[in-house]
Amino acid sequence: MSTDLPQLFRQPALPSHVSICEVSPRDGLQAESTTLPVPVRLELIHRLTEAGLTSIEAGSFVSPRAVPQMADTRSVLDGLDLDSAATYPVLVPNRRGLDDAIAAGAVDVSVFLSVTESFSQANLGDSLQATTERGLEVARAATTAGLRVRGYLSMVFGDPWEGAVDPQDVASAARRLVDAGCTTVSLGDTIGTATPGHVTAVLDSLVSAGIPIDSVALHTHNTYGQALANVYSALQAGVRQFDASAGGIGGCPFARTASGNLATEDLLWMLDGLGISTGVDIEAVAATSQWLSDQLGTPLPSATPSAVLSR
Ligand code: MG
């Protein structure tokens, strides 16, 4: 098959450029049963950087007992050029994690809030009010320390225990993250239940709450096959930041029914066909995904990498 594919058909109403936050080294690997050693995690990040990705989640400062896959993230940061144009955010769940990240030289950090009470208790181990206050305090402290802060919201489009989630609750939580200094709020479809109209409704709520669309990112999962449709819906609303994971690896280890992240290659194939620039080389990402599959000893959730490489 020709490498001139996909054919280019621009949609003038859509953004001309989008940024991809590559989450495989953190969100992806933490859901895998195999723990990769630091040199392999570093090689993954270097390969993704070479492919043109400029925002790559590098790890997290969490307890290695809770998440062994992310142990020794400090050594990962030691191996990265943190002064380069690329950004390598690390997840910090609490004040101690933030202090460790700062000591390791992190420039970019992420904080996590739940939108629902059940997920807060199951994943973050405390009430929604307590975990929200804690997350916002970490965001404010990181901002004060001069770091860039990305805020993640979980269960934005549905909760496995509670069911429906009110878009107004999402807007309120997003508002608080922005007020705490977050430059980006990533809306997590943690269990993949969102549909395109739902995405529109949530984005409308955020815009009505005064949150600039430029500070919104979408984090989709492909549980019900809706990930790309949801991305397209967000593009129509002007969203220009999307999270994706090479090969589609990762899910959410704390949410039953959660399956893989949107694959970076799936996203790139659509954006390339729409003429939306990303600066990312789809073949280089696909080759990295196949290499990663070998390292993990598991097949990739997405078939797109092998399709790209067999052209
Ligand atoms: Mg995810």
Domain ranges in the chain? Answer: 19-310
301 Cα–ligand 1 center, Å = 13
Contact 19, 240 (CB under 8 A): yes
What is the tens place of the pLDDT at every residue in 163-172? 999 999 999 9
Q: Compute, in angstroms, the gap from residue 225 CA to the centroid of ligand 1.
A: 14
1 CA → ligand 1 middle, Å: 32
pLDDT at 253: 52
pLDDT value at 193 more than 60: yes
CA distances from 82 to 86, 99, 229, 303 (A): 8, 17, 34, 33
pLDDT at position 85 over 80 = yes
Percentage of the chain with pLDDT > 70? 96
Provide DSSP, 175-211: HHHHHTT-SEEEEE-TTS---HHHHHHHHHHHHHTT-
Q: In this predicted structure, what is the pLDDT of residue 4?
A: 84
Distance in Å, CA 162 to ligand 1 centroid: 19
Q: What is the pLDDT of residue 124?
A: 86
Cα 192 to ligand 1 centre (Å): 9
Which position has the higher pLDDT, 227 or 257? 227
- How far does the centroid of ligand 1 lie from the alpha carbon of residue 128, in Å? 20
Find where tokens 């933490």 sit. Answer: 30
Structure token digits, residue 43: 């090689």
Residues annotated as catalytic are 252
The model's pTM is 0.96
CA of 179 to the centre of ligand 1 (A): 24
Tell me the CATH architecture of domain 19-310.
Alpha-Beta Barrel (3.20)
pLDDT at 259 over 80: no
Locate 243 and state its tokens. Answer: 């999270």
Q: In residues, how long is the chain?
A: 311
- Nearby residues for ligand 1 (ion, Cβ within 5 Å): 27, 261
Task: Report pLDDT for 251.
Answer: 59
Rounded distance from Cα 188 to ligand 1 centre (Å): 7
Strand order in the sheet with 108-114: 55-56, 19-22, 241-244, 216-219, 184-188, 148-154, 108-114, 90-91, 59-60
